[in-house]
Amino acid sequence: MQRRAFLKKAGLGAVAGTAAVAAPAIAQSAPQINWKMTSTYGPSLPPLFSTAQMFCDMVKEITDGNFNIRLYPAGELVPGYGVMDAVGNRTVECGQTASYYYYGKDPSFCFDTAVPFGLNVRQMNAWMYEGDGLKLMRELFAPRGIVNFPLGNTGTQMGGWYRKEIKSVEDLKGLKMRTAGFAGEVLSRLGVIPQQIPPGDIYPSLEKGALDAVEFVGPVDDEKLGFQKVAKYYYYPGWWEGSAQVSLYVNDKAYAELPKAYQRVIDVASRAAGAKMVQDYDAHNPEALRRLIAGGAVLKSFPREVMDASFEASNQVYKEFCDKDPGFKKIFDNYMAFRDNIVPWFRVAEGSYDNYLGAALARKK
């Protein structure tokens, strides 16, 4: 796509000018801005980290090299879970992370990523952009000095890797499991001992026996991290992450200093790079799962008993948080009303189609 055509379609007239303005004139008149961006992730997780790099590259290209954002992987400038504080205090101007890592600061941040038995990726996009999601999240992040933007989604995640089979709720008791955010709170009600561990430390902990189970993302990332080598039972679905939105955090003062056209570039580039992440996972998870199974992974679904107990525990935790936190309740009520309205439509259309086609293909074999 030609840069000028892209800018015109995106409404970036302040950058592109009119059709009669030559590119060199734009480059000469646009301000030169250099930012730093940190990430919770690194190159070992290509779909996640490459999304951040694509965002930076797009910003640079759209602005003819005048707005440059240098990306740093986790640990190079800031610890992986330090993105929120680093952006809020302007150690860096922006960062890539998943908001449920900051559950300890405020459980409401999980609505920006995933909550148990929540929205799938398309439903999440609909809530963020056509519902009240982005407005509510902007209100939530404002006191932290952050302007947030969706920056992709993993889609529905897997239920994780286990050293032993999970045949009942009883099998969860005492299980030391790497998980994040709200999932840990709910799983603890079922007897699990949750551990929040950065991506780079998960495999050694599992290998040494410090963990009995681990959930991370899905086949593409799990294969890269090698969990199948030390825990062979691979469960689905990840009911705590019907989707998992990744976010771009931008320091509010740095954002306010940008020309309006550059602010628009951030919005457009984050949407485009975010869409690419979803496509990446959808395209490559199937083959990664086949390779994992061929390599010895045992694919299993959670028993209905476990799913039902998890659903009930989730609802109990939600009630407790709503009863004590009006801010949480405000977001919860809006999010769940949107979920309850949209899920029946997906069940009629998407669900019935997918279920029939899957069964038909299985019979064909």
* DSSP secondary structure of 209-230: TS-SEE--S-HHHHHHHTGGGT
| Residue ranges of the chain whose pLDDT lies below 70 | 1-28
Cα dihedral 179/318/121/342 (nearest 10): 160
Gap between the Cα atoms of 173 and 295, Å rounded: 29
pLDDT by residue (tens digit) across 172-198? Answer: 999 999 987 799 999 999 999 999 887
Question: Which residues have CB under 8 Å from 307's CB, separation 6+?
Answer: 239
